[in-house]
Amino acid sequence: MERRTIGATALQVGAVGLGCMPMSWAYSGSRQRGEESVRALHTALDQGANLLDTADMYGPFTNELLIGRVLRERRREAFVSTKVGLLVGDQHIVANGRPGYVRRACDASLRRLQTDVIDLYQLHRADPEIPVEETWGAMADLVRAGKVRALGMCAVGARASRRSGTGVGRPASGGLHDDTVRQLERVQQVFPVAAVQAELSVWSPEALERLLPWCEARGVGFVAAMPLGNGYLTGTLTPGQGFEPDDVRARHPRFTAEMMAANQPLLVGLRRVAGRHGPGVTPAQVALAWVLGRGRHVIPVPGTKHERWVTENAGAAELTLSELDLAELGDLPAAQGSWD
């Protein structure tokens, strides 16, 4: 698989990574099977999709434990990205950016992951009660201590104030990621940012407006979360099929039966482009190829727990979209269904 670089750190990863959250959190709890997920992780490493993206809050904690089972055998082949800064309660999630907590959380993640170093340690959310510079300074100390190789930040503007009337080629305006950019500018003065993670897909292109250019101008890697639109852009979901109560899509405005039906033109466009590239090419691969084409500093991390989809997603790294393809995708209608 093509290799890409995370920021100025010269850390190399496969062009397509693996989002590990669905293996143990937020998606269809009854379908989460540890052994199947372990096989998917091994398949990802076999395919060169070695960026494994997780967080201590996924589970919580069980996602890191699952990945640790594989890292115990194949640590040298993997690029491990985990996150800190969010605590999960019974009915709520709260931010904690206190330096002491960051240090303890890192040590706990290292134990669960069965490794002595985390390749990319990301701040999941900034704590509004703690200056972000203090949190980032504690994370920087972990780099100096040899426990972490590079630091990243997750965008705080995702899924807020989406506006209609903008297609793939015309991202929304209105400062969706303004808060994130301001935080990035602040922490950059403390210690270099190696990567930024934010949602980016053909139905959520807003990061193209300001966040992606900010990263490109500074040699910062961009980890594209949810590049397949929570599974919608794979074309494998049926409008009105329903989701389990613990599945995030059960409360997701774009996954009502009405909105899933209304957004079918997006899938029609993806299928049309896929058809031009041969019978083995899928809408998901086209969607991922579009993300990959946003720049060589972009690494999508599609989430899955199945070997089959890991292999299909990895194949997107071999797909090159033509100018005709890109023009057609750029003319797709905006996704319907607000995140507000």
**Quick check: is 58 catalytic?**
yes
Q: Which residues contact 229 (CB under 8 A, 6 or more apart)?
A: 201, 202, 203, 204, 254, 287, 335
Please tell me whether the overall predicted TM-score, pTM, comes out greater than 0.75 for this model.
Answer: yes
Residue 68 contacts residue 113 (beta carbons within 8 Å) = yes
Distance separating alpha carbons of residues 340 and 27, to the nearest angstrom: 21
Q: What is the pLDDT along the chain (340 residues), one digit of tens a residue?
A: 999 999 877 789 999 999 999 998 767 665 666 899 999 999 999 999 999 999 999 999 999 999 999 999 999 999 999 999 999 887 789 999 999 999 999 999 999 999 999 999 999 999 999 999 999 999 999 999 999 999 999 986 544 333 333 344 434 444 789 999 999 999 999 999 999 999 999 999 999 999 999 999 999 999 999 999 999 999 999 888 888 888 888 888 899 999 999 999 999 999 999 999 999 999 999 999 999 999 999 999 999 999 999 999 999 999 999 999 999 999 999 998 865 4
Name the active-site residue from 27, 58, 121, 232. 58
Residue 319 contacts residue 312 (beta carbons within 8 Å) = no
Question: Residue 13 class from Cβ within 10 Å (0-12 exposed, 13-18 middle, 19+ buried)?
Answer: buried
